[in-house]
Amino acid sequence: MSIALSTQFSDGESRCSPRLVAAAQQPDAIDIRRGLRRGEFQAYVQPKFDLQSQEVQGVEVLARWQHSQRGLMTPAAFISLMTRKQLLDELLCRLLAQGLACQVELHRQGRELSFAFNLSLHQLASDSLVDQLAARLQQHPLPLSSVTLEITEDAFTSVSPAVQQRLVCLKELGVRLSMDDFGTGYSSLWRLNQLPFDEIKLAREFTAQLESSPRARAIVRHALFLAEDLGMQLIVEGIETQSQRSLLMQLGACFGQGYLYAEPMPVDSLDAWLKGSQQPF
């Protein structure tokens, strides 16, 4: 199960959907606080799949704002301001509550799916983060190994020793750690050596170029070799076509996420979707 937060509180996939309303004017802090009080911020989930069997392995929990006037908004409209106003922890608490409640119910039904939540560098800088997460996670009858914290790689440009130690502490709690958007930052390989990751999520930019770029295919192939040598799982982001899925399987990829399989959906819809999904891939 995975847990992740950042500008990934996240959009999940960056593809446009006609149901997502682009705000003509950015919300202000008062608007955001009002939305938090009213419960307008909702957990959405996007499934992760086994490319071969097409079975759902877990989900990533994403943030959406069902604004009373502007409609459904993605994190691009509010995460930067929430970061500046130090409101990310409150948002994370709401996503954890909604996501973990869903996960507990699925486990009760015998569906032992992992759930992932995104963490930002700003949150990792908090002295109380580990204690807060531990307290919330231990309120639920779930194995902590079924929870993953996804850390966006570009947040690691200046990781302090204190932040590194907090990641170690989170790992010692029993949760899994994932490096999100691998390959888009400046220090990917060094961070893999430095920090206790269990999983790599390969950035969707490489998936988008698979069919046209031999270099992109070579990078994906070597990323898979690297993950295997390090004992890590690799998940490919941004899979949108059957051709991409086929190429990834030829290269040796096992797990993926993207619009080919499912768009982000309200967390309350996941149970019904799992029961009704035909997965015609």
Query: Active-site positions?
Result: 237
Integer Cα distance of 121 and 154 in angstroms: 9
pLDDT, tens digit only, all 281 positions of the chain = 444 444 455 566 555 554 454 444 678 899 999 999 999 999 999 999 999 999 999 999 999 999 988 899 999 999 989 988 889 999 999 999 999 999 999 999 999 999 999 998 778 888 888 888 989 998 999 999 999 999 976 555 567 888 889 999 999 999 999 999 898 866 578 888 888 999 999 999 999 999 999 999 999 999 999 999 999 999 999 999 999 999 999 999 999 999 999 999 999 999 999 998 755 44
Distances (CA, A) of 160 to 5, 84, 103, 125: 19, 20, 33, 9
Q: In the chain, what are the domains?
A: 3-276 (3.20.20.450)
pLDDT score of 281: 43
Integer Cα distance of 109 and 111 in angstroms: 6
DSSP 266: E
Integer Cα distance of 45 and 18 in angstroms: 18
pLDDT score of 7: 42
Integer Cα distance of 232 and 1 in angstroms: 15
